[in-house]
């Protein structure tokens, strides 16, 4: 990185949005810089990766309405923690948006080597849930995943970095881009975009205790839907940050006599028809900390405090995850949240959101009972999320070419979604970046 040079493109953030742009633009353009807040992280496994889920103050991120948000601020962004689900959203969402991404989605599926989850990798819990759903008239379909199943060893640890490299992450695109000559500045926080006479001219950054400026003709913000709006707000675009949606999800769990889901690949199948009929994304799921603790006799473990969980773990009375099965449901929540510059996130579930989650709970409960779960042990998990979006959406903060009112300042990440998907977003984010790259190169 040089502070003397004027880059053609400065890309802020290296998640699926930023990495795709870097890869696509670098095929034809020189002098591109990626500026990434975090380090290159290569460790895998629960113990090594769990700290990545926490913020600087070693806390999980939670909204004022009590919704947990998971994300990673490292090279490759949250794709490092992703479960590899690569579901193409239904056509009706793109019609609602008035945006045709079909070609870009096709190209994204190829680049991300999307394949259907093979049945020989289904765990015992998933198989039981699939059969139970079928007995009630619902068909669980194999989930499309951006995983090379030839290399996958079925360890079920996708959220903790893939030890075999079978799962696609945005690091692959970053590496391709750097091989094409793109420069990379790690551990560098972008705080603001500089502009003069309505035209972007560079960024202000913070690195190793120093503040300085880097100049560029075009700036693309891909810092994710929680950080891009803060940079925009600092840069004189105060309307960014509103409309936050999270694809909030909640799981339903139950204990059986004979089967559980410990260490299996979760979200291996999903209830396709619920997406179509009710905009609910339901799939077999296990709250990951349950991999670590066992047997507290049927409590909802997430309702226990960390201290109590530790006490239980120390007493070696561990939650019996070997007998626990679960189904989670993501909803297309309403765009009522807000990312604020004071680092708080406002987001409560609306009545409509809660109604959707209640409806999902009833369906999940029926399936779990049919799968052999004791009705007395069925309980709901916490409100979780990992898909923040819509905080600089097309039509509100950016125009159809993803450009803000500051010329040369673009956004390409989940912030630009006009409304939430209610399902895994990586394919759509990659597709938006491919679309923007095409526009910029033309």
Ligand X SMILES: Cc1cc2nc3c(=O)[nH]c(=O)nc-3n(C[C@H](O)[C@H](O)[C@H](O)COP(=O)(O)OP(=O)(O)OC[C@H]3O[C@@H](n4cnc5c(N)ncnc54)[C@H](O)[C@@H]3O)c2cc1C
Contact residues for ligand X (CB under 6 A)? 12-18, 35-38, 70-71, 73, 77-79, 81-85, 159, 189-190, 222-225, 227, 231, 386-387, 413-414, 424-426, 429
- Angstrom CA distances, 163 to 43, 77, 106, 149, stand at 8, 17, 27, 13
Residue 76 or 418 with smaller CB distance to ligand SF4: 76
From ligand X, ligand SF4, none, interface partner of 221 (C-beta below 5 to 8 A by class):
none
Of 52, 147, 240, 363, the residue at the interface with ligand SF4 (CB under 6 A) is 147
From ligand X, ligand SF4, none, interface partner of 157 (C-beta below 5 to 8 A by class):
ligand SF4
From ligand X, ligand SF4, none, interface partner of 35 (C-beta below 5 to 8 A by class):
ligand X
Indicate whether 426 belongs to the interface with ligand SF4 (CB under 6 A): no
Residue of minimal Cβ distance to ligand X: 15
From ligand X, ligand SF4, none, interface partner of 243 (C-beta below 5 to 8 A by class):
none
Structural tokens at position 70: 């998971």
**Interface mask toward ligand SF4 for 78-97; x: CB under 6 A:** ------x-------------
Containing 42, the helix (H) or strand (E) segment is none
CB of 215 to ligand SF4, least distance (A): 40
Indicate whether 286 belongs to the interface with ligand SF4 (CB under 6 A): no
From ligand SF4, ligand X, none, interface partner of 254 (C-beta below 5 to 8 A by class):
none
CB of 432 to ligand X, least distance (A): 9
Residue 13 or 372 with smaller CB distance to ligand X: 13
Residue 151 or 355 with smaller CB distance to ligand SF4: 151
Scanning residues 256 to 275, which ones bind ligand SF4 (CB under 6 A)? 265
From ligand SF4, ligand X, none, interface partner of 167 (C-beta below 5 to 8 A by class):
ligand SF4
Of 153, 315, 405, 438, the residue at the interface with ligand SF4 (CB under 6 A) is 153
Residues that bind ligand SF4 (CB under 6 A): 84, 147, 152-158, 162, 164, 166-167, 265
């Amino acid at each position: 990185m040089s502070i003397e040079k004027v880059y053609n493109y400065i890309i802020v953030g290296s998640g699926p949005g930023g990495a795709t742009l870097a890869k696509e633009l670098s095929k034809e353009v020189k002098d591109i810089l990626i500026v990434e807040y975090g380090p290159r992280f290569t460790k895998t496994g629960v113990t090594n990766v769990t700290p990545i889920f926490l913020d600087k103050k070693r806390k999980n991120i939670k909204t004022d309405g009590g919704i947990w948000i998971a994300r990673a601020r490292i090279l490759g962004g949250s794709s490092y923690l992703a479960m590899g689900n690569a579901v193409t959203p239904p056509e009706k969402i793109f019609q609602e948006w008035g945006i045709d991404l079909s070609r870009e989605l096709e190209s994204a599926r190829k680049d991300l080597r999307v394949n259907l989850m093979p049945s020989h990798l289904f765990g015992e819990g998933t198989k039981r849930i699939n059969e139970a759903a079928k007995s009630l008239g619902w068909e669980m379909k194999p989930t499309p995943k951006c995983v090379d199943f030839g290399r996958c060893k079925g360890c079920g640890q996708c959220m903790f970095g893939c030890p075999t490299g079978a799962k696609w992450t945005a690091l692959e695109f970053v590496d391709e881009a750097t091989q094409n000559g793109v420069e990379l500045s790690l551990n560098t926080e972008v705080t603001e975009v500089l502009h003069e006479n309505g035209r972007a001219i560079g960024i202000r950054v913070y690195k190793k205790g120093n503040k300085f400026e880097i100049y560029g003709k075009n700036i693309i913000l891909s810092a994710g839907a929680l950080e891009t709006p803060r940079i925009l707000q600092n840069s004189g675009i105060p309307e960014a940050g509103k409309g936050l949606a999270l694809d909030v999800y909640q799981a339903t769990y139950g204990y059986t006599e004979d089967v559980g889901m410990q260490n299996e690949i979760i979200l291996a199948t999903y209830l396709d028809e619920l997406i179509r009929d009710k905009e609910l994304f339901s799939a077999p799921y296990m709250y990951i900390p349950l991999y670590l603790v066992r047997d507290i006799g049927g409590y909802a473990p997430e309702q226990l405090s960390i201290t109590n969980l530790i006490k239980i773990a120390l007493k070696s009375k561990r939650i019996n995850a070997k007998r626990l099965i679960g189904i989670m449901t993501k909803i297309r929540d309403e765009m009522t949240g807000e990312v604020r510059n004071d680092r708080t996130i406002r987001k409560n579930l609306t009545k409509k959101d809660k109604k959707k989650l209640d409806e999902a709970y009833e369906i999940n409960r029926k399936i779990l009972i049919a799968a052999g779960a004791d009705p007395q042990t069925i309980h709901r998990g916490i409100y979780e999320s990992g898909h923040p979006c819509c905080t600089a959406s097309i039509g509100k903060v950016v125009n159809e070419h993803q450009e803000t009112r500051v010329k040369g300042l673009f956004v390409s990440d989940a912030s630009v979604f006009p409304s939430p998907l209610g399902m895994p977003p990586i394919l759509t984010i990659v597709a938006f970046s491919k679309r923007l790259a095409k526009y910029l190169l033309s």
